[in-house]
Amino acid sequence: MKVKEMMNKAVAIEHNITLKEAAKIMSSRNIGCLVIIRNGKVVGIVTERDIMRNISNLNEKISSIMARKVITISPDDDIDDAALLMTKHKIRRLPVVDSESGELVGIITSTDLIAHSEDISEEFFFD
């Protein structure tokens, strides 16, 4: 199964909003992360955990706490590759980025992988 078959819509924000604004977006949409975009490219990611760790600084810009080294995956990659990347980097969310344009096209989470675990190669679990 390909990543594009199970990815979800990602919520992207600009790098200059505050943590408070980001928290409101995440709360209203019931999501656990936001992908930060600058000039159409992924430049960071912030999770609910990041915001909770910085709860006393809600007026700071999101760019001050976002993770800048964002691991991404292509929509045409296999979900086995997504599972391996998440395991290797100990992350729960992977922005899906078009390999040609570099634009964000979705997101895949560990919850998505669990929901589709029957489609993940047995070799992943027993390798």
Strands 41-47 and 93-97: unpaired
State both tokens at 6: 């199970």
pLDDT band at 118, cuts 50/70/90?
A: confident
CATH topology of domain 3-126: CBS-domain (3.10.580)
Where do the domains of the chain lie? 3-126
Q: In this predicted model, what pLDDT tens digit does every residue of 25-72 receive, in sequence order?
A: 999 999 999 999 998 889 999 999 999 999 998 999 999 999 999 999
Closest CA to 113 of 126, 90, 88, 94: 94
Q: Half-sphere exposure of 118 toward its Cβ, with a 13 Å CA cutoff?
A: 1
